[in-house]
Amino acid sequence: MNDDAALGAVVDRVAELLHLHIGLRCESALYSRLRRAVRDEAAAHGLDVEGYPAALLPGSPVMQSLVNRITVQETAFFRHPEQFDILARDILPTLRPPVRVWSAACSNGQEPYSLAMLLDESGVDGSVIATDLSTSAVQRTAEARYEPRELTGLSSQRIARYMIRSGSRWEVERAIRDRVTVFRHNLLDPIPDRVKSCQLVFCRNVLIYFSPHHAKVFLDRLADAMPRKLWLFLSSTETIWQVTNRYEAIRIDEGFVHRTREAHVPEARSPARPPVTARTAQGRRQSTVRKVTARAPAHEAPPVPPAPPDHAEQAALAARVGQEALSAGDCGSAVVEFRKWAYLTPDDVMAHVHLGLALEAAGERSSARRAYSVAQRVLLTVDPAHVEGAMEGFAVDELARFLHGKNQECAP
């Protein structure tokens, strides 16, 4: 085995360990960076590259050092300002103080301090809990000091009100810092007790790095642990419709916010909402079944046998069974069911999207690419309102970008 192949085998093993311990999905865009990180980290710890994976034990300094290097710490103050507008205008007034917010995966701290500033501006009694997997990110958040170039997103008025010049850098003023508690947390670990009283969770640009399984574990655990009516903010390019049915997407202006549903029914009995094509057809039918007791009159006509299911009902059933199979890790069965769904409702873009996801999970990348291409063609012909309703929060332009990215990933 040549040196390049040997390094590739080591990087593959390191990627497996990162996936296992922090949920990181190492796709092609991250792989070259991971190769450099493996070489640099092995050298920094005085290890040979071949022996490096053996040192990556959970909780070890070697693992934490790699996590600090490989995790993305890109953020800004008031990033996606439309979400902060929705929070201030439509959600904060409905919450009973003190309001508690969890900034999960807080990066270098701009998000939790933005939230604390917003609470102050709104005159709301509240606090923010900031967590991150990276110890270097936690340290930077606790320090609350930023270079001038890192003040992106702050207006001159907010800088004057909330930031203090400290040499060549700027420091968040004490009253805002006192609203924020910072500690390290791996989102794959149980929900910390001290965040279980939070009414709001900001977890933006995080789930895109998780495998579907790990995303589902986190989201379901969050729904179980937090208040019954939890508000969840994701980034504008993230969606969770294909992962869990524990949340509903609520459209406010041009954005979406997720909220936990009223009650949870086990997924085997209440799968994720079927696409609009099937759900609408079912919803329009009025039940004609009567309850027949043992004392029904002899002359009463026997109940009419139900009509055979139409294509919409069969498609809804295939969608449900396929989603259950995919959640259980049975990619082959999921592919079969999603092919049936796409055949029965060829104009349903989400049928082709699901089929592509299942094929990709099964390792059939070329077939997945064909399914994504079909979804792209269908997307050009359908009513945007129909698509957005079916996806519970995935806007048409976002879906178009998602499909384009998937086609690129699955290219030979």
Q: Which of 24, 40, 70 is the last residue of a domain?
A: 70
Check if the beta carbon of residue 102 is closer than 8 Å to that of residue 158: no
pLDDT tens digit string along 332-349? 888 888 888 887 888 888
Vertex 175 angle, CA 183 and 257, to 5°: 60
Are 88 and 182 found together in one domain? yes
From residue 32, give the alpha-carbon distance in Å to each of 7, 37, 118, 279. 11, 9, 39, 43
Residue ending a domain, among 17, 49, 70, is 70
pLDDT of residue 337: 86
Q: Letter for the amino acid at 216?
A: K
Q: How does pLDDT run across 133-189, given as a tens digit for each residue?
A: 999 999 999 999 999 999 999 999 999 999 999 999 999 999 999 999 999 999 999
Domain identity same for 61 and 95: no
Percent of the chain scoring above 90 in pLDDT: 35
Nearest alpha carbon to residue 97 among 250, 21, 199, 211: 199
Residue 283 contacts residue 320 (beta carbons within 8 Å): no
- The answer, yes or no, to whether residue 372 has pLDDT greater than 50, is yes
Residues 179 and 217 in one domain: yes
- Shared domain check, 240 and 175: yes
Closest Cα partner for 13 from 61, 55, 74? 55
How would residue 386 be classed by pLDDT, with cut points 50, 70 and 90?
Answer: low
Residue 339 domain boundaries: 312-409
Q: Are residues 241 and 317 in the same domain?
A: no
246 contacts 281 by C-beta, under 8 angstroms: no
Q: Check which CATH number belongs to the domain holding 143 and give it.
A: 3.40.50.150
17 and 138 inside one domain:
no
* Domain-embedded: residue 198: yes
DSSP per residue, 49-83: GGGGGGG--TT-HHHHHHHHHHS-----TTSSHHH
Per-residue confidence at 63, pLDDT binned at 50, 70, 90?
A: confident
Q: Are residues 243 and 121 in the same domain?
A: yes
* CA–CA separation, 279 and 39 (whole Å): 52
Number of independent structural domains in the chain: 3
Rounded CA separation 373/405 (Å): 11
Give CA–CA dist 233/200, Å, rounded: 8
CA-closest candidate to residue 246, choices 210, 275, 220, 207: 220
Both tokens of 296, joined, read: 């029904």
The verdict on residue 140 lying in a domain is: yes
